[in-house]
Amino acid sequence: FQMGPNRRTVLLDRFYVARYPVTNRMFGEFVERTAYKPTDAEAARFLAHWKTGKCPAGMEDHPVTFVSWLDARAYCRWAARRLPSEAEWEKAARGTDGNRFPWGRDEPTADLAHFGHARGNAGTCPVDSHPRGASPYGIEGMAGNVFEWCEDVDDAAFYLHGPERNPRNTIQPGTASCVIRGGSFRYDARSLRTYARSSFPPTFRLDTVGFRVAL
């Protein structure tokens, strides 16, 4: 497929990416079954929106947020899954034709994605709220609602000029930033492009960042 703004050719082996991001309900089951909690040094803002230690009523099917890259990896280990590589994430969102957005080339609208609410308290929406915004593979929520953690450590040069086959920048992150993709409810249309990318340190937790699993 054509990857990045420079549309370089990348070849990937077969893989699976979940249709939806991990929800509060799914992450809650993980926490309940494993008694998972981060170390004290890494616990800042963990599930900060769960004021009573449980998912707020009515948000069970919203994407889980306030989870770090490390939290996402812990969930994946429990679920016998993994985070998608940056290349896998982009192909799942973009398809093989170099689409600018998961649904094609048309600019985003409210029926395609949840975005553009920089002010106020819009918050997340259920993960199945925008079926018309699905990617060519039927994968939903890859533009807007929440950014999603990828497996890769952020390296712009690797992204633009890495290996042609199965690029995966998996150096253990330490304090290096890890890639996030997809935009969020707070960000504008530019962040929803299939090749738009950003990153945060692996211990960061925000109300705009979640994840989905791969295999």
Q: Could you tell me the CATH number of the domain that includes residue 127? A: 3.90.1580.10
- Asked if 148 and 182 touch (Cβ cutoff 8 Å), the reply is yes
* Token output for 134: 């699905």
Nearest C-alpha neighbor of 108 from the set 180, 194, 5: 194
pLDDT digits (tens, 9 = 90+) for 15-41: 999 999 999 999 999 999 999 999 887
Place of tokens 């989905």: 212
- Asked if 189 and 167 touch (Cβ cutoff 8 Å), the reply is no
Q: What is the pLDDT of residue 174?
A: 65
What whole-number distance in Å separates Cα of residue 31 and Cα of residue 16? Answer: 24
**Full residue range of the structural domain in which residue 194 is found:** 1-215
> What's the Cα-to-Cα distance from 155 to each of 86, 176, 197, rounded to whole Å?
11, 10, 11
pLDDT digits (tens, 9 = 90+) for 57-114: 999 999 999 999 999 999 999 999 999 999 999 999 999 888 999 999 999 999 999 9
Q: What is the pLDDT of residue 166?
A: 96
Look at the chain and report how many structural domains it folds into: 1
